[in-house]
């Protein structure tokens, strides 16, 4: 199954690596190669995250305890999903941002210049911490640019995907995943 290309944000692309279709959950990252593919997907589709992806891909290739890292990442994703989900249901943005700040500070950020790109990296320089740092920083960037205020859920109730609803008129995560299915459903309801 392909990674949904429905948001231009790193943190949302990360959240959207779990899909619910026909009431069945599909986990898109279950192996080291899935993770490699996901990093390549971000690298290929979103040029502004390329420097961060270069760092992550390098660290992943050196990683020895892959299972531990995967478990940590999925736990991180789960907790982030619940926090973002709460925001879409009227949760307090200020509290959420304080929490993200705290999480970043716990990773003890430091500045690194990599190929003329200035990046905030964690003190530990491990794969997991680095990816988390890039994702958390992206949330703060999304907050400072204001697009996080347009965070939306797909209108398909069983779908768990999140995206930035720039115009406010977007209903579906994508036509391919939910939009077309719903159109077909409406068509049948209308003519049965």
The residues that touch Zn ion, with contacts defined as CB under 5 A, are 154, 156, 159, 161, 173, 178
Select 19 or 121, whichever has its Cβ closest to Zn ion.
19
Q: How far is the CB of 173 from Zn ion (least distance, A)?
A: 3
| Cβ-contact 143, 84 below 8 angstroms | no
| Cβ-contact 122, 106 below 8 angstroms | no
Contacts of 52 (CB under 8 A, 6+ apart): 10, 119, 130, 134
Q: How far is the CB of 186 from Zn ion (least distance, A)?
A: 15
Q: How far is the CB of 26 from Zn ion (least distance, A)?
A: 13
Q: How far is the CB of 49 from Zn ion (least distance, A)?
A: 23
Select 7 or 130, whichever has its Cβ closest to Zn ion.
7
Cα distances (Å, whole numbers) of residue 86 to 22, 111, 113: 24, 31, 35
**What is the C-alpha to C-alpha distance for residues 129 and 112, in angstroms, rounded to an integer?**
14
Select 119 or 161, whichever has its Cβ closest to Zn ion.
161
User: Computed over its alpha carbons, how large is the radius of gyration of the chain?
Assistant: 17
Select 119 or 162, whichever has its Cβ closest to Zn ion.
162
Q: How far is the CB of 30 from Zn ion (least distance, A)?
A: 21
Contacts of 71 (CB under 8 A, 6+ apart): none
Select 126 or 174, whichever has its Cβ closest to Zn ion.
174
């Amino acid at each position: 199954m392909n990674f949904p290309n429905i948001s231009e944000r790193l943190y949302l692309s990360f959240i959207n690596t779990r899909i619910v279709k026909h009431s069945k959950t599909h986990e898109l990252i279950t192996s080291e190669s899935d993770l490699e593919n996901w990093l390549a997907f971000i690298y290929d589709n979103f040029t502004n995250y390329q420097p961060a992806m270069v760092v992550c891909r390098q660290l992943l290739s050196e990683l020895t305890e892959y299972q531990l890292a995967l478990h940590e990442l999925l736990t991180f994703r789960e907790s982030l999903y619940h926090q973002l989900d709460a925001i879409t249901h009227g949760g307090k943005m200020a509290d959420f941002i304080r929490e993200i700040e705290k999480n970043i500070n716990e990773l003890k950020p430091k500045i690194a210049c990599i190929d003329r790109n200035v990046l905030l990296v964690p003190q530990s320089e491990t794969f997991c911490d680095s990816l988390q740092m890039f994702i958390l920083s992206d949330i703060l960037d999304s907050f400072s640019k204001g697009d996080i205020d347009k965070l939306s859920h797909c209108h398909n109730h069983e779908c768990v995907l999140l995206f930035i609803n720039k115009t406010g008129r977007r209903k579906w995560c994508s036509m391919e995943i939910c939009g077309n299915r719903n159109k077909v459903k409406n068509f049948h309801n209308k003519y049965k």
